[in-house]
A = this chain, B = another copy of it.
Amino acid sequence: MRPSGRQPDQMRDVNITRDYTCHAEGAVLVEFGNTKVICTASVEEGVPRFLKGKGQGWITAEYGMLPRATGTRNGREAARGKQGGRTLEIQRLIARSLRAAVDLKKVGENTIYVDCDVIQADGGTRTASITGGCVAMVDALTHMLNKNMIKNDPLLRLIASVSVGMYKGTPVLDLDYPEDSKAETDMNVVMTQHGGMVEVQGTAEAEPFKREEMDAMMDLADKGIKELFALQQKALGW
């Protein structure tokens, strides 16, 4: 039933490659099937003004897409002179999610920038960004510990994310673009390693959805995210 031939509860092949580029403190290429995102984590001393002197750190995120990551070319946001609403919405989601993984007090007065740049898009770029961005952030935290910038590991738990949706009346896991563009409902879920929910964002694209459908989608998300945690841990060598 799915265009890709996958089972409803089957994720795409997911790959997490660390040290993908050489300059950043964390640099991950994450692939959810044909969706490919470079996630880098950069450590800088200092915090934004609203946090100065509060004895805590900050984690922020930025999201971008290469103009031809998609089937037709999208104008470059830098050339248009502003980031679009979709971009801002996604990078706010990534940053909130990543902050749920750490104890900001233990980050000290430092900021970690997680940049998620989509080099090829096939649906699920925000969930891939969160999943890969978390691994890049862990590498950056390790870097800070090794450099004695911080004393205690701020990591509380891994987080990961997947999309679920109602496609032709069936709940499906990890939508690719052909599904996403036709789905009745699209839901992005971010969870912690210990099963808690960090973000749930469900949108009825066409028809309103029912509580039972939401429950079925949440179950699928739970299954998929558990698989992602295993892949994150394997990539990290844990």
Interface of A: prevailing SS: mixed
A124 contacts B by Cβ under 8 Å: no
Which of A144-152, A195-203, A226-234 lies on the face that meets chain B? A195-203
Q: How far is the CA of A22 from the CA of B36 in the complex (A)?
A: 11
Q: Which of A43-79 contact B (CB under 8 A)?
A: 44, 62, 64, 66-73, 76-79
Q: A76-B115, A203-B96, A218-B211 known; A23 and B70 CB under 8 Å?
A: yes
Q: Are B78 and A115 in contact (CB under 8 A)?
A: no
Nearest B residue to A62, CB-CB: B76
Q: Are B85 and A82 in contact (CB under 8 A)?
A: no
The interface residues of chain B lying within 8 Å CB-to-CB of A191 are 208
Q: Which of A172-217 contact B (CB under 8 A)?
A: 187, 191-192, 194-204, 207-211, 214
Distance from A29 Cβ to chain B, minimum over Cβ atoms (Å): 10
On chain A, which size bracket covers the interface?
35 or more
Nearest B residue to A218, CB-CB: B211
Nearest B residue to A210, CB-CB: B196
Nearest B residue to A194, CB-CB: B208
Q: Are B203 and A21 in contact (CB under 8 A)?
A: no
A120 contacts B by Cβ under 8 Å: yes
Candidates B89, B196, B210; contact of A197 at CB < 8 Å: B210
8 contacts between A and B (CB under 8 A): A24-B68, A64-B76, A78-B87, A85-B91, A88-B88, A96-B203, A117-B119, A197-B209
Sorted nearest first, the 3 A-B pairs with minimum C-beta distance are A196-B208, A85-B88, A77-B78
Residues of A within 8 A of B (CB): 21-24, 27, 34, 36, 38, 40, 42, 44, 62, 64, 66-73, 76-89, 91-92, 96, 100, 113, 115, 117, 119-121, 187, 191-192, 194-204, 207-211, 214, 218
